[in-house]
């Protein structure tokens, strides 16, 4: 069930929302149980056969976590339980996500004769696995102490995050589910939730999906070995760069907005990453919860920056390669992760040299910022080519075409009925939203600050902003739904495949 589907918007969401607040008036545990059951149903709507896998993973990790907490005073035993739980989680993820890759890309090149297994990747397995690995580690560290099973079930299966994140921590969610305030309707939550949802829906249906029509043909042609030319290569690379931005940003806004409707706050997972002035800042803004997970549970345990510069660079590179592999079992993802790892190493090395040479602060701030944003964005575009391409050869073909000096390929050969003016329009709109306009969270903060003005002026401003927000929300939702009316085309989010 997609957030963008009519079934979700006009059946699932209203029923779950009304049932939650009705039950919340009488019994908070029943309301939490209702949400947990609704979340499991949401997952099962995709594929019922993987519901036992999800529930089995939850029961297993809950049991391991509880055992660790009970025997916390016996560190060796608790440590073994932690290691067993993490290995079991990673083993399950590895089987479903990497078994075919290992057999075909590792065993066969070494002289083996392995055949691909008929394995279908369960949707959301990476997210609910990482969420529970973080839970086990937090229990071991003494950060997670509550073991109410209904709330734990809801914590893992919470439908706004279950399929494509964000990666949640036990301490972020369990106290909220225990708070009586979230079981009461609050107009502020409903307004902010609907605004965020509408903005996310518009990003997905009005920008990400239409602009994908200029990315897919380029990468399909490259995979088929066809010539694409410089103009088409840059068009495809930029189109995908904006497609994945608005697709993931849209999902993140919708997830936070949906959760807010129920009074539950999800961590912000996306914060204008293309405005970053360097690659370090980019990873503090893109998929923020995954970046924090990789930092806290991989980079720091590897030693972080505590053992010299060379070891630090190795840890950065290893973390990003594994982060790339997390996105998918393909060499293209490994290369994408390696590119970002190398860029992080260069960035840290450049900072170190910049400070040692005493050059910091000499370049005018506006020039340094503009140059930093441009170089970072160009680096990200190059890396996205490997992320999107089906094969390394196809990615190389696109990149070589991007730097070629000739362009003899006709536009219609690749894009057929798609006009260059239409792409220019989508690209211009994307540039404005990405670099000129504030993001959704900045806009909401601005509105709320204006509404805190006291007196008659404050009330007048509050009414105007409320009416304006309602008008924008209704308009965005109507335009988004009208854009897909009668197409009957499912529009899954890109991060569903990871």
Note the pLDDT tens digit of each residue in 108-160: 565 655 566 677 888 888 889 999 999 999 998 888 888 889 999 999 999 99
Is 19 within 8 Å of 30 (Cβ atoms)? no
Helix axes 149-157, 170-177, angle to 10 degrees: 120
352 CA to centre of own chain: 30
- Mean pLDDT for the stretch of residues 245-257: 95
Q: What is the DSSP letter of 142?
A: T
Residue 455: predicted pLDDT = 60
Which residue would you say has higher pLDDT here, 333 or 447?
A: 333
**Statement: residue 446 has pLDDT above 60:** yes
- Mean pLDDT for the stretch of residues 454-459: 61
Token pair of 374 as six digits = 């441009």
Is 147 within 8 Å of 62 (Cβ atoms)? yes
Long-range contacts, 385-388 (Cβ 8 Å, 24+): 385/237, 385/240, 386/332, 386/333, 386/335, 386/336, 386/339, 387/244, 387/327, 387/332, 387/333, 387/336, 388/215, 388/219, 388/240, 388/244
Share of the chain above pLDDT 70, in %: 89
- Mean pLDDT for the stretch of residues 8-29: 94
Phi-psi region of 105 (alpha: psi -120 to 50; beta: other; left: phi over 0): alpha
Separation between Cα atoms, residue 327 and residue 98, nearest integer Å? 11
Separation between Cα atoms, residue 112 and residue 103, nearest integer Å? 9
**Statement: residue 315 has pLDDT above 90:** yes
pLDDT band at 274 (very low <50, low <70, confident <90, very high): very high
Q: Give whole-number Cα distances, 386 to 70, 205, 382, 402, in Å.
A: 46, 25, 7, 13
Residue 112: predicted pLDDT = 58
Token pair of 173 as six digits = 């969610």
Give the Cβ contact number of residue 351 at 10 Å. 13
Residue 458: predicted pLDDT = 60
Is 31 within 8 Å of 20 (Cβ atoms)? yes
327 carries an active-site annotation: yes
Residue in 161, 169, 170, 327 annotated catalytic: 327
Residue 99: predicted pLDDT = 81
Separation between Cα atoms, residue 212 and residue 174, nearest integer Å? 38
- Name the most confidently modeled range: 85-89, 367-371, 438-442: 85-89
Residue 457: predicted pLDDT = 60
- Mean pLDDT for the stretch of residues 221-244: 92
pLDDT in tens, 215-232: 999 999 999 988 888 889
Separation between Cα atoms, residue 275 and residue 325, nearest integer Å? 26
Largest interatomic CA distance in the chain: 80
φ/ψ of 489, rounded to 5, equals: -105, 120
Instruction: Please tell me the pTM assigned to this model.
Output: 0.91
């Amino acid at each position: 069930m997609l957030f963008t589907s009519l079934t979700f918007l006009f059946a699932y969401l209203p029923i779950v929302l009304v049932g939650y607040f009705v039950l919340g008036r009488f019994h908070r545990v029943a309301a939490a149980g209702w949400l947990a059951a609704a979340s499991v149903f949401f997952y099962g709507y995709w594929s019922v056969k993987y519901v036992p896998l999800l529930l089995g993973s939850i029961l297993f990790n809950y049991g391991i976590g509880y055992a660790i907490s009970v025997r916390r005073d016996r560190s060796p035993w608790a440590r073994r339980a932690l290691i067993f739980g993490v290995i079991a989680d990673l083993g399950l993820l590895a089987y479903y996500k990497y078994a075919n890759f290992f057999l075909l890309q590792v065993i066969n090149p070494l002289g083996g004769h392995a055949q691909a297994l008929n394995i279908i990747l369960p949707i959301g397995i990476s997210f609910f696995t990482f969420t529970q690995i973080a839970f086990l580690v937090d229990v071991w560290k003494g950060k997670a102490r509550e073991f109410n099973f209904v709330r734990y079930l809801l914590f893992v299966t919470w439908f706004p995050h279950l399929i494509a994140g964000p990666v949640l921590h036990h301490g972020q969610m369990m106290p909220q589910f225990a708070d009586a305030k979230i079981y009461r309707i609050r107009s502020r939550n409903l307004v902010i939730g609907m605004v965020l949802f509408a903005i996310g829906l518009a990003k997905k249906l009005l920008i990400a999906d239409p602009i994908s029509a200029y990315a897919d043909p380029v990468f399909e042609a490259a995979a088929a070995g066809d010539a694409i030319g410089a103009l088409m290569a840059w068009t495809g690379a930029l189109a995908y760069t904006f497609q994945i931005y608005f697709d993931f940003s849209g999902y993140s806004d919708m997830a936070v907005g949906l959760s807010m409707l129920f009074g539950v706050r999800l961590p912000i997972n996306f914060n204008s990453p293309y405005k970053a002035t360097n690659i370090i800042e980019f990873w503090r803004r893109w998929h923020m919860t995954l970046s924090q997970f990789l930092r806290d549970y991989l980079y720091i345990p590897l030693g972080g920056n505590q053992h010299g510069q060379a070891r630090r660079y190795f840890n950065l590179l290893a973390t990003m390669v594994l982060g790339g592999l997390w996105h998918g079992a393909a060499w293209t993802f490994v290369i994408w992760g390696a590119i970002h790892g190398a860029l992080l190493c260069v960035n840290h090395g450049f900072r170190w040299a910049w400070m040692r040479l005493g050059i910091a602060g000499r370049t005018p701030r506006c020039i340094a910022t503009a140059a930093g944003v441009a170089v970072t964005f160009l680096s990200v575009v190059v890396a996205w080519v490997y992320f999107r391409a089906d094969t390394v050869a196809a990615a190389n073909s696109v990149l070589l075409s991007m730097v070629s000096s000739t362009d003899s390929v006709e536009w219609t050969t690749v894009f057929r009925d798609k006009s260059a003016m239409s792409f220019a329009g989508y690209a211009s709109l994307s540039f404005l939203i990405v670099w000129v306009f504030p993001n959704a969270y900045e806009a909401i903060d601005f509105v709320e600050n204006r509404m805190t003005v006291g007196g008659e002026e404050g009330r007048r401003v509050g009414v105007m902003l409320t009416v304006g927000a309602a008008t924008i929300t209704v308009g965005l939702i109507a335009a988004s739904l009208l854009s897909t009316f009668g197409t009957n085309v499912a529009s899954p989010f890109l991060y569903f495949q990871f």
